[in-house]
Structure formats: structure tokens, C-alpha cells
Structure 1
Amino acid sequence: MTNFYDINKNKELLVQQLEYTAKNSPFYKAQFKKNNIDIGQVNSYREFRKIPITTKEDLQNYNEEFIAVKKDEIIDYVTTSGTLGNPVSFALNDADLERLAENERLSFEMVGVTKSSVMQLTTTLDRRFMAGMAYFLGLRKLGAGIVRTGSGLPGLQWESIERFKPDFLIAVPSFLLKMIDFAIENGIDYRNSSIKAAVCIGEPLRNPDFSLNSLGRKIKDLWDIELFSTYASTEMATAFTECNQHKANHSLSSLIFTEVLDENQNPVKPGEIGELVVTPLQTQTMPLVRFATGDMVKFYGGNCDCGRKSMRISTPVGRKKQMIKLKGTTLYPQQIINLLTAFETLKIFVIVASLNENQTDELLIRIPNDFVEIDRLQEHLQSGLKIKIPLERTSVEKLEKLKFPKESRKPKIFHDYR
């Protein structure tokens, strides 16, 4: 058993969390009893692994049974983004909101935000979105300045940058490209703005070897600011964040116990890809134990050049349920997205997965009606993927609606109808 999964590193917090959960969560009371789990005997990772995995389906099907506090203690209600199905309801009490603030304070400090910094939030604080509230609470706890512009509206973003001189942005990477386009079209000297760095959410920035992916390179080539990757989810209410070495995302060991498991639920070795499984620590309202996120990440172990010893993982290389089997080849949507983003003249696209009449996977890439370099794009894709994927012309208006649906909090490039 690898020492990366040694529970002694935060044993006291983990034991406290297990004891609290066993006492207060209706779902886990039943689960532990059904599986003869004695929390008092969990003194090693070997014993901890006897606890069954909790799935997203469990959370959907038994949602209210996960609530471990009285209803009048709940302060905030949020939902997941619903990437892999219907959004799941989540609730937080005062202690959870304080923990959320501490999570973001630690994360922001990791990327160099200080009390004297000013951060512009280009994310929504409404629509039941946990992250927007988390960023605000974390910056408030840190004491940094906050500019709450919200999502969209590139004109307002640049007017706010000119007015308040923030040095950091929080943004979805593809929105940074929209801001750059707006600046170029309107003669804004964006390269000499006050912005020094962006904390990027919702879309991967880097390849598993730490290099910027095609989206990250495109932003960096146009706007030479420092780009920090961060990864989180509503369920784990904890962020994995890059430090200034940009060599994977650090876990916050005081707030989460992290596992990366193969398809047989065994720990992967450093350098291998597996599913991220988490046990958030110090949560009260809806504690989760060994929750399978569905995200496939590369595991790097500990010991970063920055001096931190915390476990490091990549941002997701794909979703477990989004894995595509096509003509004997295994693909994840992000591989295709990276190749399409790297094709400079292709400004917008959407990927569609479905099942054919034989109930096997089928892919289609929708591209703009006026796109002319079909043959070169097809060659580019085939070279990178080793298979041919059909391309279909679609109006830009329809592509915009597919990519930015009104009900979604982030771009939806991959549509899975399987």
C-alpha cells in the first residue's frame, strides 16, 4: 500500500469525520450497518477501504437521507452543474460556509492572492452556484478587494478593469478569449491592463505533462498573463489548485482525504490515471464518505517543487461516463476538444455523441456553415485521434445556443445522447 494513502497524515480529522457521519447521517447509518462497518476499527487505509464507495446515483436517489443536520440549521441551498445528468441538490449550514471560505482562502493564497490584491469575479453568485459564493467568501476572509461583475458582458468587464484596476481575474478560460476578442474589436489596450493573472475554472488549461493545452496556449499567446488551473465540485466543496510551479493541482489535506482508484477500486501509482474518490473533511450538513466523483485524473503523488507535500492531481482528463469507444479506440471528449481548439481558424464547434442502430458509440462534430477548411481539419483530427469523425455544417446561431445553453453555468461543448 503506497504511503500517499496513509491516513495518519490527517487521521484525527478523518476519524472525527467518520464518527460524525456515522452518528448523524441517515444514509451512512444504514450503509455502515448493512456492511458491518465499525468506524471505531478504522485505523488504517486497509480498514478504510472496506467502506463502500458512494456514487452520484446514491446522492441523486437518496438525496435527503444524506442531510445530517436539522432543517432549520441549513442556510444555503445549491445544486451541481448537472454535467452528467440532473443537477443534485446540496445544502450547507453556517459551519459549512465557514469551511468553504477557508477552502478558498487557502486556494487563493496558493496562487499568490494577498490582502492587498483586487480580484474581479466574472462568475455568477446566483443560479444556485456554489463556486461563486465560495470565491466571494474566501476573498472576504482573506481581506482582498472584490469586483463582482458576474458572468458575460465583456464590455462591463473591461470598464471594471479600467475603473478598479484588479490584478486577478476568476474566469472560465473560453470567456477570456471572448474578452480578448472584444478588446481587439474595440481598441482596448488589454495587454497593458492591470490584470497580472487569471484563476481559471470550468475548463482544463493543461495537459498531463503540465504544458498548456491548446486552449491555454491560445490565451497565453494573445494575453501574456499567468494562468492558474483549479478544479473543484459542489459535492466535495473543496478545490484542487495549482501553485506557482504549475505542476498539477494540490489537495488541501486538512479539508479532504483523496484517493485515485483504478477500475477495480485499487489505488493507482504516480503517473497513472484513475477515478477521483474523495472524503471531504469538516463538513456537517451533507457529509460524504468515499464519494466517486466520476472524474478521471492523473495522479502525481506529493512533493512539489514549491515545497508542499500535499497530494497532486491533474484537472480531469475525462469523465468516467463520457468515455467513448469508437472503432476499437478509447477516447475522452477533452482529447477531441484540445485538437479542435488548436485549429486556429475554427472559432466554434460542438461535439455530439450518440448510439447507432447497433447500440455502439457514434460521434459527430458540428462546425460553422461558412467554415472552408474541411479537408485540413479532418486531416488534423485523424492525425491526432487515429480515426475519422464525421463533420456536419451548422449555423453559428445554433452552435452558440448549443454551446451556451441558458440553463447552463458553463460552456457545453460535449453533448452526450447515449
Structure 2
Amino acid sequence: MSITTAPDKVKLMQEQKLQELLQHISKNSPFYKELFAQHGIDINAIKTIEDLALIPTTGKEDLQKRNNDFLCVPKDQVIEYASTSGTLGSPVTIALTENDLNRLTLNEYNSFVCADGQPNDIYQLMLTLDRQFMAGIAYYSGLRKLGAGIIRLGPGVPSLQLETIQRLNPTAIVAVPSFILKLIQAAKDHNIDLNQTSVKKAICIGENIRNTDFSLNILGKKITEAWDIKLYSTYASTEMQTAFTECSHGRGGHLQPELVIAELLDEDNNLVPANTPGELTITTLGVEGMPLLRYKTGDICMYFNEPCACGRTSLRLSPIIGRKKQMIKFKGTTLYPPAMFDLLNEMEEVLDYVIEVYSNDIGMDEVLLHLLPLDDSKACDNRIRAYLQARLRVSPHVSYITAEQIQKMQFPEAVRKAVKFIDKRVNQSEGN
């Protein structure tokens, strides 16, 4: 299907794939068989995208409690076991068949093409390629299908990343934006001019680089002010086995309509209009092992449906505003971790940070910022506290810690990515 296919034809294609999904899960998924029976749902009455509203949503808690009941194939057909990072509670295992791995490859191939990837590119992968991390294998297999060169270097170790860039001359990197900042600092420390290297673009994963109006946020600005490279943002989750990736116009992550149906829902599970925050709810298309129907991701964002300047007619997602479960109610103010990340990234006096939220003795949210300050002077402390008060209108607790302490907090044993947010509230779990 072409990227410029008319929306009505795309909808017909999705509805045909939806029929196939409903038949598959009604026969093979213990969870969905039970759901349909409990709610008296006749899958043959679900004909259109609009009819999805007749089906209850599924949430992360369902997957955590009944993980194995979502499996739709015999175990001898499972080729790969991936898992979520456990950011919002216990990790969830996602089982993939050979066809699912091929679909994952297609998903990431489409994503790299959307982000101007070419067969003559060489990508340096600065991310985990083990520990059941689906994204790692997705990027690798998508780049193989693209025909591009791949350097599997893994996460961290800025000095090794820089040495490899100089030695192998990649044209692109795939990395977490905050790590790109560490790379920039390491280059300065070693008198390396990144603008004289071969790298011209970065696929940014795991963190926002834009505001909801698509302008670069502080993290994105800090990167591009120091390094003249093109940034492409991407958003995905293990459960949906699909990515939303920006094109060169940087106006939101493009939906891949042949792979997923996206709904954005309000608190009452009603569809929200364009340009309005809602919870991303997805229905996977073409997944064999663990397909999902109306699965609420917990991520709050907006969608835009006018055609993109790149010619694609598919829906686009804004940067993630926040995770529903991570919303903080602090002294009458609603805060989301991404907004606080932007604030702390903006402060020259703060070199690194971890945000901790916990419940006080009357059950209200409290915020504690673990900060690595520029220096330990009283003047630096005063500037930090005054800035936080001015920007947040409330004063969180502040704890100054060393670089060694912050490293231990951000990288506890066996984590796949830096922990920047710790949730110690009652009935909440640790994550970032």
C-alpha cells in the first residue's frame, strides 16, 4: 500500500485486517475468548473501525496478570521471547512467531525509510541488543532489510562510541537523546569536532526531543546547537510491535496503518478529536503470537490527521505528553515527568538528575529531585531553587548527590536504559 493511498482505501484495508484479527483471537486467545463471552460480543457484528467502540479496552494490568492467556499459538511456534522493561510494574513477555519477526522487520524498515534511511547509510546502534529488548532486534533486522551497514556497539561508553565513529565513519546513529548529550561532552573533553565526523543524522529513541507544537525541546536544542545533525524522533512499545517515526518534516510520528489501528481515548473511553490529548489505544494487525485488541498503552498524546508535507496521508502522533500512571499531583499542580525532564535539562546548574515521587503520611504526592549540581556553592543552590520555584510554581524537595551516586541510581543492576524517574507512591512501581 502506497504512503499516499487515500484514507478511505486505508480504512477498508484496516477493516479487512481487523476481521482477520477477530477471527484469530476468538479461536486462539484464552483471554479474548473469555472477554467476548463475558460481554456477549458477537465478533461478526464488528465490521468497521467505528464498531471497535463495542469492545471493552484491555490494559497493562491484564497483560501482567494473565500474560500466558494472550498467547495465540502453540509454544513450538514461538521463535523469540521479548519483554517490556518493567517501567510500570512487572515486565510483560511478548512471544513472537517467525511471521511476527518478519512483520517487526517490515515495521522497522518502513520506519527507517520514513526517516530518510538509504541502503548506502551506515548506522551505529548505541542501544542494548540483548536482555530481551525488542527494539534492538527490530532496528537490526529493519536495517538489514534496508541494506544499510550496521555497527552493533551497544549502549554507553562515550569514548568507545567516538573512537568507532572516527574509525568506521557511520552516517547515522540510533541513540537515546540524553546519551547523545554525553557523547557531545566527551567529544569536547577529547577535542573532537563532531561536525567534522561522518555522522549526519540521529534516530532518537526513548525520550522526547520535541514539544507538542513540534518545535525542538531543550534536549533537542542542546543537541543541535552543539552538533549539526538531523534528528528524527520515534515512538514505539514492545506490546504493539510497531513504531511511529518522524519524516524529515518533523511533524509527528507517522502511523503504519497496515500494522496497527490507533485510537486516542478520553477518561470515559470515548474518542478525542484531533489536537486533543488522549490515551493511545492500539489494535495490532497481522500479529500471530500475541495480538492485542484495543490495548491502552498508558501514554498520553495527541493526533493530527491533515496530510503531511512528505505526502503521507496517515495519522501522526505528537510527542508523548506523559504516562497516565506517572501523572503527579503536587501541591495542587499536575506534573508529568517529561515536562520536568525538559525543565531540568534546561538548567545549566544541573548536570544530571533523577526524579523521585513518593506518598507522604497523608497519601499525597511528594517530589524529591536528586541533582548533580554544577558546583556545591550556595549561589548555585540558590539559583536552582529559585528557578524551580519560578517554573513549577511549587518547590520540590532537593537532594544533591555525586556523579557516582547518580550513576548507581540511574543504572541499577540489569536495567536496559537509564532510570530518570522513580515512583515510590503507594501501589506504584519503580521506573523511568
Mark yes or no: TM-score above 0.5.
Answer: yes
Counterpart for residue 224 of structure 1? 228
- The CA deviation at 1:399 is 1.4
Counterpart for residue 390 of structure 1? 397
Counterpart for residue 121 of structure 1? 125
Residue number among 380, 387, 402 corresponding to 1:380 in the alignment: 387
AA partner of residue 264 (structure 1): D
Counterpart for residue 358 of structure 1? 362
Q: Secondary structure at the match of 1:412?
A: coil
- The CA deviation at 1:9 is 5.3
- The CA deviation at 1:123 is 1.0
Distance in 1 (CA, whole Å) between partners of 2:138 and 2:202 is 17
AA partner of residue 58 (structure 1): D
When normalised by structure 2's length, the TM-score is 0.93
Counterpart for residue 424 of structure 2? 417
Contact 1:257 1:281 in 2 (8 A): yes
Contact 1:324 1:331 in 2 (8 A): yes
1:208-247: per-residue Cα shift (whole Å, max 9, x none)? 0101111111111111101110000100010000011001
Contact 2:263 2:271 in 1 (8 A): yes
Counterpart for residue 290 of structure 2? 286
Distance in 2 (CA, whole Å) between partners of 1:92 and 1:302 is 34
Unaligned runs of 5+ in 2: 1-6, 426-432
1:345-399: per-residue Cα shift (whole Å, max 9, x none)? 3111111100001101111111136443222222222222222212122232111
Counterpart for residue 170 of structure 1? 174
When normalised by structure 1's length, the TM-score is 0.96
Residue number among 378, 382, 403 corresponding to 2:410 in the alignment: 403
Distance in 2 (CA, whole Å) between partners of 1:209 and 1:315 is 9
Following TM superposition, where does structure 1 have runs of at least 4 consecutive aligned residues deviating by more than 3 angstroms?
6-9, 369-372
Q: Secondary structure at the match of 2:79?
A: strand
Correspondence 1:79-158 to 2 at 5 A: 79-158=83-162
Counterpart for residue 262 of structure 1? 266
AA partner of residue 389 (structure 1): P
AA partner of residue 92 (structure 1): L
Instruction: Indicate the larger mover: 259-268 or 148-157.
Output: 148-157
Distance in 2 (CA, whole Å) between partners of 1:171 and 1:368 is 23
Distance in 2 (CA, whole Å) between partners of 1:406 and 1:100 is 28
Unaligned runs of 5+ in 1: none
User: Identity rate of aligned residues, in percent?
Assistant: 46
1:280-326: per-residue Cα shift (whole Å, max 9, x none)? 11000011100000111122224112221111112211110011111
Correspondence 1:4-403 to 2 at 5 A: 7-8=11-12, 10-368=14-372, 370-372=375-377, 373-403=380-410
AA partner of residue 65 (structure 1): D
Distance in 2 (CA, whole Å) between partners of 1:336 and 1:155 is 29
AA partner of residue 306 (structure 1): C
Q: Secondary structure at the match of 2:64?
A: helix
**RMSD between superposed Cα atoms in Å:** 1.5
Instruction: Indicate the larger mover: 240-249 or 43-52.
Output: 43-52
Q: Secondary structure at the match of 1:398?
A: helix
Q: Secondary structure at the match of 2:352?
A: coil
1:84-116: per-residue Cα shift (whole Å, max 9, x none)? 111111111100000000000000000111111
Q: Secondary structure at the match of 1:391?
A: strand
Distance in 1 (CA, whole Å) between partners of 2:19 and 2:121 is 37
- The CA deviation at 1:162 is 1.8
